[in-house]
Chains A and B, each alone.
Chain A
C-alpha cells in the first residue's frame, strides 16, 4: 500500500482564517479523497480529487468552503476557508488502491481546532 503523509499534523486556528492541508503520496495514484471526521464521529467524504479535473464534492460540501487542488498524481491540498468552531475536526486524505482500486488507504490526518 502507498505511504501517505499529511501536513500539518495539527493546528489551532482563529475563526475567519483559512488553513491549507497538504497530502503527499509516495507513488502515483489516480484517485485521491478528502474526508472529515468530527469529534467522536465516523468519516464523511468531502470530495474526490482527480488529477486534471475539478474535484467532485459530496452533498453538503462546496468548493468555496473547501477548495481542493490536485496538481499532479502524488499531491493534493484541501483548504478549509473562513473557519468557524464547527470546522474543528480531523481531516484525512486517502488514495484508491488494491483490487481494481476498490480499497482506500488513509493518511495520518490533520487535527484542526478552531477557536
Chain B
C-alpha cells in the first residue's frame, strides 16, 4: 500500500526545547491527521488538516498541510515531560473512502 515517510524515527530533547517532525509522500492527500500514542493506549487525535497550506494550532502544537498536498509537519514548542510518546502522521487519499495511511511514527523522549 501507499507509504508515508515519517522522520525522524526518534528524538531525544531537553525539556523546554522545540520539536519538529514531518511526513512526506509521493502521492497527494486530502486530509492530514496527527496522533499521539502513549504506552498501552490507542492513538489520540491532536490536529486535523483539510486544505493545502492550512496552518493549525492546538496549544503548544502547530501543524501544517503542505502546499503540494504531499507533506505535513508537526511542531511542539517548549516541550514538557508529558509530551513523551509516539507521534504518528496519517493521511487520507482521494477516493479512499475514509481509510487512513499511517506514517512509521516518531518516538519522542523529553529529558528533564
Contact = CB atoms under 8 A, between A and B. Distances in A.
Contact of B48 (A33, A43, A92, A102): A102
Contacts of A59: 1
Given A42-B88, A42-B103, A102 B98 contact: yes
Contacts, number: 64
Contact of A48 (B33, B43, B48, B97): B97
B61 interface: no
Given A106-B43, A107-B42, A45 B48 contact: no
A85 interface: no
Given A102-B31, A104-B90, 14 more contacts: A1-B45, A31-B98, A33-B99, A42-B102, A43-B102, A45-B101, A48-B99, A58-B1, A59-B1, A92-B42, A99-B48, A102-B30, A103-B45, A104-B33
Interface of A: 1, 4, 31, 33, 41-45, 48, 56, 58-59, 92, 94, 96, 98-99, 101-109, 111
